[in-house]
Structures are given as C-alpha cells and as structure tokens.
Amino acid sequence: MKKNGVLKSKNLKMFFGLFILIFLSPSTIHAQKKKMNILFISVDDMNNDLGVYGHSLVKSPSIDRLASKGMTFEKAYCQMPWCSPSRSSLLTGLRPNKTKVMDLQYHFRQELPDIVTLPQLFKNNGYHVARVGKIYHYGNPGDIGTNSLDDRVSWSVRINPAGLDKTSLEPDVTNYTPQNKGLGASMAYYSDSKGTDQEHTDGKVADEAIRLLKENKNKPFFIAAGFYRPHTPWIAPKKYFDLYNPADITLPVLSEKIQTLYPTHALGSTKPFPNFGLTNKQALECKLAYYAAISFVDSQIGRLLDALEKEGLSNNTIVVFWSDHGYHLGEHGLWFKQSLFEESAKVPMIISVPGIQNQGQYCRKTVELVDIYPTLADLAGLKAPENLDGTSLVSLLKNPKTDWDRPAYTQINRGDVPGHSVRTHLWRYTEWGFGTEGTELYNEETDPKELHNLASDLRYTKVVEQMKQLLMKIHSPGSIPKGKADADAKNRFSE
C-alpha cells in the first residue's frame, strides 16, 4: 500500500510538472485566467552596440539582464530607418507602402482612418493602455509635451514628461559643425555634472512608468515606456560619460576610394564626406557621448525591471524591448540613420515571456519589427487584424531553431529615387530606383561590414536574380508612394 502511495505521489508530481510546463508555454499563455500584462519599452536611435549583442565596450547591464530572461533576436530589422515611418509600421503592423508614411509629416490615419493599432487592440480588449514618452513620432525636442494625431485613439492615458535636458540644456549645446546650419544640434553632446537621472527626461519617463505599474498592478495593462535617448543631442549625467575611457573609442577604417565603391544613393547626400567634416578627435568624442547616452537609458530601463520585481509583476508581464532603427557611428563614413546598410537597418529586439523555457537564448533567424504586433496578439490570445504584414514569432520564442525562411525588408527614399533592400540569413540585396540607379549584394557571413559589393560580379548572377525575385514580392514599380526622405541634409538628422 505504501509502495502504491509512493507511486501515486510520483505520478502526481509528474502530472503537475507536465501541467506547469504546458500551461506556461507561450502558445497557451492566453489560456490563463489572469491576463498577461505587457511592458512595451522603446528607445530612440539605438543600434546594436550592446553587451548582449557582443559589444565589448558598451555598458548595458540592464538590457543584458532583460536578455538573460528572454529571447534576443540577433537579426531583427526595421521597415524604414527613420523615426516616424518605422514606428508607424511597428504600431500598425503594416509596411510603409501601406501606411504611406515616408516622411515626418504624413500620418497613417490620413490613409487608414479605421485601422486598429497595436495598443488600440489591447485597449479594445479591456486592458489599461497607457503611454509615457515617445512611442508614436513627434518632433524631438520641438513638440515634446504634445500628443500625436493618433494618441487619443490608441491610449487611455498619455504622459509627456520633459526634463532639464529638453527644457534648458538642448537649446544651449554647441554644434561641432555650425557652418552647416542644416545639422542643427545633431553632432552635439553635453556631459551634465549637476543634473540627476530623474531630472532628465528619460528619468522622468521611468518615474511615470513605474507609477503606472504600481497603480495598475491589479488589472491587465499595456504600458509603453518611450525613452528619448540615445537620440541626439547626446545629453546625459556626467557619471555615464565617466564609464568610458576615450582611449578605448575607435572609428572605422575607411578606404580612400570609399565613394567609388557603392552606388551614389547608398551613401546619400552626406556633405562634407566623410563624418561631416569632423576631425577624428571630434568624431571620437561624439561616439563616446553616444555610448554614454546608451548607458544612461539602460539605467532607466533597469529601474523598470526592478519595479516589476518589487511589485510582483515579473511572473505575469511580457516585456518587449525595441529600437526604431539602427545608427551609424562612422561606418562607410556615415552617421545617424537613413541608409540601407546593416548598421542602419538592424535593430536590437528582445522579448521576455514569463514561463518560457528558452530564457537567455538567441534567435538567429531574420525577423522584422512589423512582427511584434502579431506576436503580442498571439501571446495574449487576441484576434489580430487579418491584413498584418508581419508574422507571429511565438514559434521562435518556443524554439529559436525552428524552420523559418522569412526575409526582412527595409526601404528608404533618396528624394524621388526609392531604395529597397531585402535581407536573408546569408545575403543583403539592395536596389536603387528598382535597379536603374544601382544595385548592391553582400555576403553577410564573409563580409558583415558590407565592404565588398558583389552585385556586378558574374559569379553571383544567380544569387542576384534570386534576391531580386524576393524583393519584387514586396516592392515593385508603381507600388511605392513618394516621400521626402533624404531630400536634403536637414532631413537626414531629424527624427
């Protein structure tokens, strides 16, 4: 009898173990009686120079900590490397060709008045939906404190904090290139020796997001924390600048013939070239300031993660971390975004799901920001709109090595010349003006810095044709609305 009792006990433990394993898998999260919360964290202009992505210098302990509990996507790409078009695509689940957002002025509601956005979907399903800081696009810093056209539809609560960096420091920073008035404060930085983290805007974003977490911890929520850094100008408390030794900062080595190695539109209208005429010393200081801004915003993200744990929300909150696009720091002689090179198109993206078995793992499949919408809807058990361009990543969250052959598409305009790029696991292929203004092909395994354009090499004719066919599935002549991206130098450095 005792033996049977032991056997029953073991069977009972096995049953409950199996129940927990199945119950907490991502595909069945929505089956739980208590809805899963969403903490939606965005950063502005952050590239993949982070510890979790293998960078040996940048200090990002909080983002690395989030990655240790979630899935890090090594090959995640934006749909357009410019703030408003990228954010519009992510939040609608549609590519720029459908949103028609190709610049900083046009709003997708003009074309799609009845569209249900990602936060709106959760709002319509009983979630407390709140935004702090920048999620949709608006001018930075000119329009800080205002609401975007879509705010009233997408969010129940909208909070727009402004710290001393926006109200007093940004207007006073000195530009390294005052002779080029189109640059504004783009290449400026400021090491604040007096202000505290919580006096800066991103510190206030963290404060307000933490308050919302506390006030709404007993109800299902979708809380978005939109941080402004490391967007220019690079302003942060001095202690974050002190994390870096200037002697450790280096710049990419550029070929003297670099401007002859690529189609004209690949490098855009960057003048003076390279590095806008900065001296090496100035460029190195700017790069250090960018890293300081990353570490500053990383610290604020850490405060959010601490609050989740303190409030007992870690086991019931999905955390999504993303940047709207990548960022050049001298690669190809470029700075900022709006290129179709890897540094501009690729973004950091981490998704942490409570109960997932693959915590701390990497997914090396090619994914897109437009995939976030269907993924969160899938995890929460909500019915997403049928016309979304992305695909749920739940299968990859469960098994990062599962079969997956979807490429990633990124686009940008050079005035009236469209640029389109498709990225597979091995190749990047880019066309300017549908090939009439130049093409590019890079082997991302042997040439990850994209220094050797193979598009005209006859040995790769078949690869070019295959990649062209992939590109044509999404981008074909006549399907691309015109935009104002890169019409002049000023656009390149704005939001």
Which residues are annotated as catalytic? 83, 137
- Rounded CA separation 313/162 (Å): 27
Q: Give how far Cα 329 sits from Cα of 59, 258, 275, 491, Å.
A: 17, 16, 9, 18
Name the DSSP class of 390. S
Q: Return the biggest CA–CA distance within the chain.
A: 91
List Cβ<8 Å contacts ≥24 apart for 98-105: 98/389, 100/481, 102/413, 102/481, 102/482, 102/483, 102/484, 102/485, 103/483, 103/484, 103/485, 103/491, 104/137, 104/139, 104/491, 104/494, 104/495, 105/484
User: Of 2, 50, 21, 132, which is closest to residue 348 (Cα–Cα)?
Assistant: 50
- Coil vs helix vs strand at 366: strand
Question: 277 — phi, psi (to 5°)?
Answer: 80, 5
- Coil vs helix vs strand at 410: strand
Provide, for the chain, the percentages of residues in helix, strand and coil under a 3-state DSSP scheme, each rounded to the nearest 5: 40, 20, 45
User: CB–CB of 77/366 below 8 Å?
Assistant: yes
Q: How far is CA 213 from the centre of its chain?
A: 23
- Coil vs helix vs strand at 26: helix
